[in-house]
Amino acid sequence: MKPEIRTHPNLEDLSRAAAEYICEIAEGAIKERGIFTFVLSGGTTPRLLYEELAKEPYASRVDWQHTHLFWGDERCVPSDNPDSNFSLALQTLISKVDVPPSNIHRIPAATGSAKAVAAEYEKTLREFFQATAAGDPSTSFPSFDLVLLGMGADGHTASLFPGDAALEERTSWVVAVEGSSASPPVRRITLTLPVINEAKWVLFLASGSNKLKVLREILNNPDTGIYPAAHVRPAGKLLWFIDEGLA
Ligand code: 6PG
Asked if residues 175 and 118 have their Cβ atoms less than 8 Å apart, the reply is: yes
Atom of ligand 1 lying closest to residue 208 CA: 17
State which of 77, 151, 190 you would mutate to test the pocket of ligand 1, scoring each by most atoms of that ligand within 8 A of its C-beta.
151
- pLDDT surpassing 60 at residue 221: yes
Query: Average pLDDT, stretch 6-20?
Result: 97
Q: Is residue 240 part of a domain?
A: no
The CA 43 to ligand 1 mean position distance, Å, reads: 4
Q: What's the pTM?
A: 0.96
Domain count, the chain: 1
Full residue range of the structural domain in which residue 213 is found: 4-185+197-235
pLDDT digits (tens, 9 = 90+) for 136-177: 655 689 999 999 999 999 999 999 999 999 999 999 999 999
Q: Is residue 211 part of a domain?
A: yes
pLDDT digits (tens, 9 = 90+) for 45-60: 999 999 999 999 999 9
Q: Is residue 25 part of a domain?
A: yes
The CA 236 to ligand 1 mean position distance, Å, reads: 22
Predicted confidence at residue 174, as pLDDT, reads 98
Mean pLDDT of the chain: 94
Q: Is the CB of 73 under 6 A from ligand 1?
A: yes
Predicted confidence at residue 196, as pLDDT, reads 98
Predicted confidence at residue 136, as pLDDT, reads 62
Domain CATH number, residue 43? 3.40.50.1360
Atom of ligand 1 lying closest to residue 159 CA: 10
Query: Average pLDDT, stretch 195-215?
Result: 96
Predicted confidence at residue 162, as pLDDT, reads 96
Q: Is the CB of 45 under 6 A from ligand 1?
A: yes
Query: Average pLDDT, stretch 218-246?
Result: 91
pLDDT digits (tens, 9 = 90+) for 87-103: 999 999 999 999 999 99
Q: Is the CB of 44 under 6 A from ligand 1?
A: yes
Query: Average pLDDT, stretch 207-227?
Result: 90
Percent share of the chain, pLDDT over 70: 96
Query: Average pLDDT, stretch 74-80?
Result: 94
Predicted confidence at residue 138, as pLDDT, reads 59
Predicted confidence at residue 135, as pLDDT, reads 55
Q: Is the CB of 42 under 6 A from ligand 1?
A: yes
Predicted confidence at residue 131, as pLDDT, reads 77
Atom of ligand 1 lying closest to residue 211 CA: 17
Q: Is residue 191 part of a domain?
A: no
Q: Is residue 120 part of a domain?
A: yes
Q: Is residue 90 part of a domain?
A: yes
Q: Is residue 246 part of a domain?
A: no
Q: What are phi and psi of 223, to 5 degrees?
A: -85, 10
Q: Is residue 247 part of a domain?
A: no
pLDDT digits (tens, 9 = 90+) for 112-127: 899 999 999 999 999 9
Q: Is the CB of 155 under 6 A from ligand 1?
A: no
- pLDDT surpassing 70 at residue 62: yes
Q: Is the CB of 157 under 6 A from ligand 1?
A: yes
Predicted confidence at residue 134, as pLDDT, reads 57
Q: Which long-range contacts (CB under 8 A, 24 or more apart) does 53-57 make?
A: 53/19, 53/22, 53/23, 53/93, 53/97, 54/92, 54/93, 54/96, 54/97, 55/96
Q: Is the CB of 150 under 6 A from ligand 1?
A: yes
How confident is residue 180, by pLDDT bands cut at 50, 70 and 90? confident
- pLDDT surpassing 60 at residue 27: yes
